[in-house]
């Protein structure tokens, strides 16, 4: 077997590894894609506009907020600012994942950052934590199915939205918190995990009650990250790894 077929094989298997890991994300995101499309049309978007928003923004929570404000006839600049605020947490993901994908060509990196969602970041971080290289084929295998289905579901939701039955009885509004809890639990072996979780939970709850949504996400996140920065390095395990 030549070296070339070997590499091709490993690229293909990397891709499929990523696709396999994308399946829970696809399942968890599906109701929200449909729901987004339905709500978008309800708030005055066309099917094309709903699909376009999913294709270009690819961030469920921010799209919901944007649609909600659009329906309330809020000023356009305020809608854009709100989308930015909801997505601001990605700045932290971006800073964290940069270390893992710095070896990719620039164009591939630019694409990689485009699909950097919550689960994309969490699953890629886990792979890096296990000491494995985060390759482009694997990363896109993880991200592309989620992206493609997100756009398709949004379009379907926009066309058939009114047919969705009782979403509350189906638990759809609370599926994402359950999924995110699973991602949080996946990092429990990391140094400082519990203190960080407690700090972020407390700060986000206080911010939610005082400043309000969506800023509680950024405020809570910064509280947890700051705690890890402030605590002496022997707690954070960073120097021990060198």
Partner 1 sequence: MSTTFWIIIAGAIATYLTRVGGHLVISRFDHIHPRVEAGLNAVPAAVLTTLVAPAALGAGPAEWAALVVAAVVSLRGGLMAMFLAGAVVLILARQFVG
Q: Considering only residues 158 through 217, tell me which ones interact with partner 1, judged by CB under 8 A.
A: 168-171, 174-187, 190-193, 196-197, 199-205, 208, 213, 216-217
Which DSSP helix (H) or strand (E) runs through 120?
helix 118-129
| Closer Cβ to partner 1, 6 or 238, answer by number | 238
In sequence order, the 6+-apart residues with CB closer than 8 A to the CB of 113 are 94
| Closer Cβ to partner 1, 12 or 91, answer by number | 91
- DSSP string spanning 16-65? HHHHHHHHHHHHHHHHHHHHHHHHHHHTT--HHHHHHHHHHH--HHHHHH
Please return the burial class of 6, using the count of CB atoms within 10 Å of its CB with bins 0-12, 13-18 and 19+: exposed
Residues 67-106 that bind partner 1 (CB under 8 A): 70, 76, 79-81, 83-84, 87-99, 102
**Smallest distance, partner 1 to C-beta of residue 182, A:** 5
**Smallest distance, partner 1 to C-beta of residue 157, A:** 16
- Sole window of 2-10, 134-142, 149-157, 228-236 interacting with partner 1 (rule: CB under 8 A): 228-236
Written as six digits, the tokens of 225 are 């990250």
Q: Tabulate helix, strand, coil % of the chain (nearest 5).
A: 80, 0, 20
- Sole window of 6-14, 49-57, 133-141, 154-162 interacting with partner 1 (rule: CB under 8 A): 49-57
- Sole window of 5-13, 52-60, 132-140, 141-149 interacting with partner 1 (rule: CB under 8 A): 52-60
Residues 101-140 that bind partner 1 (CB under 8 A): 102, 109-110, 113-114, 116, 118, 121-122, 125
**Sole residue written with tokens 């990689």:** 112
| Side-chain-facing half-sphere of 107: CA atoms under 13 Å | 0
**Smallest distance, partner 1 to C-beta of residue 6, A:** 30
**Smallest distance, partner 1 to C-beta of residue 3, A:** 32
């Amino acid at each position: 077997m030549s070296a070339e077929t070997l590499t091709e094989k490993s690229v293909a298997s990397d891709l499929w590894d990523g696709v396999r890991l994308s399946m829970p994300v696809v399942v968890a995101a599906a109701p929200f894609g449909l729901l987004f499309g339905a709500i978008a049309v309800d708030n005055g978007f066309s099917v094309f506009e709903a699909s376009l928003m999913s294709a270009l923004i690819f961030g469920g929570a921010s799209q919901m907020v944007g649609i909600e404000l659009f329906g309330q006839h809020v000023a356009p600049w305020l809608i854009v600012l709100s989308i930015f605020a909801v997505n601001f947490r990605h700045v932290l993901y971006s800073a964290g994942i940069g270390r893992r994908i710095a070896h990719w060509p620039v164009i591939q990196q630019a694409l990689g950052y485009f699909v950097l969602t919550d689960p994309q970041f969490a699953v890629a971080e886990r792979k890096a934590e296990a000491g494995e290289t985060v390759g482009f084929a694997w990363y896109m295998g993880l991200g592309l199915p989620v992206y493609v289905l997100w756009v398709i579901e949004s379009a379907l939701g926009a066309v058939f939205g009114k047919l969705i039955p009782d979403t509350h009885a189906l638990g759809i509004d609370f599926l994402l918190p359950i999924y995110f809890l699973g991602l949080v639990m996946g990092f429990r072996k990391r140094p400082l995990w519990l203190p960080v979780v407690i700090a972020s939970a407390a700060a986000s709850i206080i911010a939610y009650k005082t400043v309000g949504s969506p800023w509680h996400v950024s405020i809570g996140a910064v509280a947890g990250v700051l705690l890890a920065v402030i605590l002496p390095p022997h707690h954070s395990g960073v120097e021990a790894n060198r």
